[in-house]
Structure 1
């Protein structure tokens, strides 16, 4: 992320596409990600209708896990958009958007999650028509309270209209803007220059600026027991010869890493077993023609023996 910092300024079309995709994956309105996560949470909240205690507990735990995932998704994509799209230019690879074909592709891909959210009621009608041979139409169409208002399949629980959100959100934004402009007059558009807040803002350049590592580090610390976070503080002492890493002033260097549980306890043991199998296969693949003829002869004798025994 440090190498990509400020890439959105160099490639604005790609930056906008990345921002739209990030908002969608974070499940924020008015995108299709928000509608799908809303339906998922509403479905899991129906656990009180399940009679079995094990089913209720399972749905409750799943709902809590989904809600936690949504929260961390928001944190993750704030970091991505803030550093890559809105952050100041960094020292990464210079470049811009592709030609007009690439820009058209980005525009179409960005419009898809936005349009899908606005047309969700129409999608439900299409899905209901496709499921009609297997699922009763009254059951699937129960997700529509009215032509443009959605609800869980059980009525009277909650409703949502992603189509009207596309009307309401711009209108409310315009009203807030007009109210702020009316109350502040020309002061709203006046440029105000103040000293930068030297804490953790993107307005501070150099070593004092906020980094992607610094943003994610509190999460690593809070979830240290889950993520198996390993932190290390090293005292850096200059060697005095002026040659090397450029550290001329004594300071502390902090490093933090997260242990990948799946990779450590699942992938690596499997890779070791796979490596042993590959080593055995490499012994068989000697490249000698007489050895391969011997393998074929052994296979032929084995097949003849099996056929004879079954006969």
Structure 2
């Protein structure tokens, strides 16, 4: 089958899953249709790279009928679809499968539209379809601690703010070039003044940033993800996130010329978003909420190097601009695989222990080894540890920001220097975050009071193992994967090749005289180097008999379960960054009939959202005030309604007489 036929088949299968979900028949066929559609989309993307896919219009002259996927769209679709395949094949652990199937189908169809639709009206329809699908996906699961739906409403509200900004940007662009076709938007550089270009760029940043989780929009992530399953999170953090980033980078690299002011704002927004998101991720004690913040962090890293691309392009440094562009694509490819793995690992933990809480449950001790391989490899990648894909892309991120000395202006140099410092802080906290997640969520011993040990289902363990190996394969094969991006680089930056980022088995930031790494060689050398400490450990065990001693508990009796908790692991950071977290602590008591006999002490500690009180509560209170003012319209009193009709008649007669 051709790539075009495979994509058409994928869309048809997703539509079939929606129909089955609406009719409420065929749970397994619906899940199979979703998974096969993802497999067909991944095969189409892999088979056509490094080229693109273009469909002839079904109805010439009708908006929304032309579909074309550029090479960078196919790259992001490929890795998003791989993670989506495993997520849809396993499905949600929630009982309601109908809404999940409908929501997943809408998400996937909307994402395909965002990757390929080539006109403004069709793109906005696909964008809203993707947002609606995410809400439908989560609304039927209700796997969070509360069922009030606040997280979903908060998500939809902020996404609509972004949709308004996006609509305004597309209308301004269409007015400037006199067309709604994206092919004509490339003329913005000549048809729009510099101030209008900057305004369009900022509106695009706000519009797409609402879904990418840039500040302050990242605050909807934990509430929404925390209501759904890991399978839903794998879709939202994979193919949906990739579609949103593709739309943003297309606007920056095709529609708008390079701009120092736009690049500076983008870099600043990306760095601050990454720092705040990872700081809040470190404090979470729920798999889904922690991984949600991590998704916002990784999207912000990609946006940061995209901003660096705009700065370099503004000064005519096309080679460095292409470096930043390619690094963003590499980063989101590895992120989609690693995040999909850990999201499905969260579902595996839920099925084994009945909870998404990050606590010592001995999942690896009593589980399958390939589940542990996937969790460890994906955690290493998101913690930027060698030789995983996240290490490669974050190394490239730093090398891109370090190239700021090539810039002539002080503003650009200073921006990239500060961005490098911010990325260093982000990387350090991300490392601690995934040490916490893997160490407490998958390793350790189970408490005696937790009862019998559950096991992660074999299907989830196998999916995690395969995705974890995929993360490693992406890193080890990076010198060859760069061939797949050659078409994308040539299309966006004429004359620039992605192969400039490699020299034999070395990865280089355009030249090996500046820096280089080789994840391919590291993957071979690290296991060999690990033989040295293993041999020393074996020698020590043979010569010295291990002696076990009780743990010191400050002079107190040993508690029934003295394991490290999520709170104790992250409390030091919470105290140090109290000006960001603004921690809240509540202690309550339950009494047994008398105030002298305490039955139970209730302790609750949490961090406060940074923007909710200062930014989001103001419009919420305004809407509530307006609702109270308009509440008499729903009073049901006939005299009140007759009075309104009388006032309207008087106004109409007054207008007619005038």
Partner of 1:272: 621
1:220 maps onto 2:220 in alignment: no
* Mapped partners of 2:552, 2:589: distance in 1: 25
Q: 1:14 to 1:54 in 2, by over 3 A?
A: same
Which SS does the other structure have where 1:17 is aligned? Answer: helix
* Mapped partners of 2:459, 2:575: distance in 1: 44
Which SS does the other structure have where 2:491 is aligned? Answer: coil
Corresponding residue to 2:610 among 225, 236, 261: 261
Q: How does 1:107-186 map onto structure 2 within 5 Å? A: 107-136=465-494, 138-144=496-502, 146-181=503-538, 184=540, 186=542
1:5-32 per-residue CA deviation (whole Å, 9 max, x = no partner) reads: 2252344454543333222211111211
Structure 1: runs of 5 or more not aligned:
248-252, 306-311
Q: Give, in angstroms, the shift of residue 282 of structure 1.
A: 7.8
Q: Give, in angstroms, the shift of residue 129 of structure 1.
A: 3.0
1:73 maps onto 2:430 in alignment: yes
1:189-208 per-residue CA deviation (whole Å, 9 max, x = no partner) reads: x5x132133259xxx75364
Q: Which has the higher helix share?
A: 2
Q: Any conservation in 2 of the 1:118–1:166 contact (CA below 8 Å)? A: yes
1:5 maps onto 2:5 in alignment: no
* Mapped partners of 1:3, 1:130: distance in 2: 40
Corresponding residue to 2:455 among 88, 96, 99: 96
Q: Give, in angstroms, the shift of residue 47 of structure 1.
A: 1.4
* Mapped partners of 1:155, 1:284: distance in 2: 72
* Mapped partners of 2:519, 2:583: distance in 1: 40
Q: Give, in angstroms, the shift of residue 134 of structure 1.
A: 3.5
* Mapped partners of 1:196, 1:281: distance in 2: 68
Q: Give, in angstroms, the shift of residue 136 of structure 1.
A: 4.2
Structure 2: runs of 5 or more not aligned:
1-284, 286-356
Q: Give, in angstroms, the shift of residue 179 of structure 1.
A: 4.9
Q: Any conservation in 1 of the 2:389–2:472 contact (CA below 8 Å)? A: yes
* Mapped partners of 1:110, 1:129: distance in 2: 27
Q: Give, in angstroms, the shift of residue 233 of structure 1.
A: 7.8
Q: Give, in angstroms, the shift of residue 88 of structure 1.
A: 1.4
Q: 1:282 to 1:151 in 2, by over 3 A?
A: farther
Q: 1:279 to 1:109 in 2, by over 3 A?
A: farther
1:44-99 per-residue CA deviation (whole Å, 9 max, x = no partner) reads: 1111111110101110111111110110011111112221212211355863222x
Q: How does 1:51-62 map onto structure 2 within 5 Å? A: 51-62=408-419
Corresponding residue to 2:400 among 29, 40, 43: 43
Corresponding residue to 2:388 among 28, 31, 35: 31
Which one has a bigger Cα radius of gyration? 1
Q: 1:236 to 1:51 in 2, by over 3 A?
A: farther
Q: 1:279 to 1:114 in 2, by over 3 A?
A: farther
1:83 maps onto 2:437 in alignment: no
* Mapped partners of 1:193, 1:276: distance in 2: 69
Once the two structures are overlaid, the 10-residue window that deviates more, 270-279 or 116-125, is 270-279
Question: Aligned-pair RMSD on alpha carbons?
Answer: 3.8
Q: 1:10 to 1:68 in 2, by over 3 A?
A: same
Q: Give, in angstroms, the shift of residue 176 of structure 1.
A: 3.4
1:161-197 per-residue CA deviation (whole Å, 9 max, x = no partner) reads: 011110010011123323554x547237x5x132133
Partner of 2:68: none
Which SS does the other structure have where 1:133 is aligned? Answer: helix
Q: Give, in angstroms, the shift of residue 264 of structure 1.
A: 2.3
Q: Any conservation in 1 of the 2:591–2:597 contact (CA below 8 Å)? A: no
Q: Any conservation in 2 of the 1:5–1:92 contact (CA below 8 Å)? A: no
Q: Any conservation in 1 of the 2:489–2:497 contact (CA below 8 Å)? A: no
* Mapped partners of 2:433, 2:482: distance in 1: 30
Q: Give, in angstroms, the shift of residue 231 of structure 1.
A: 5.3
Q: Any conservation in 2 of the 1:139–1:153 contact (CA below 8 Å)? A: no
Q: 1:206 to 1:179 in 2, by over 3 A?
A: closer
* Mapped partners of 2:610, 2:582: distance in 1: 8
Structure 1 length-normalised TM: 0.74
Partner of 1:195: 549
Which SS does the other structure have where 2:606 is aligned? Answer: strand
* Mapped partners of 2:428, 2:612: distance in 1: 24
Partner of 1:308: none
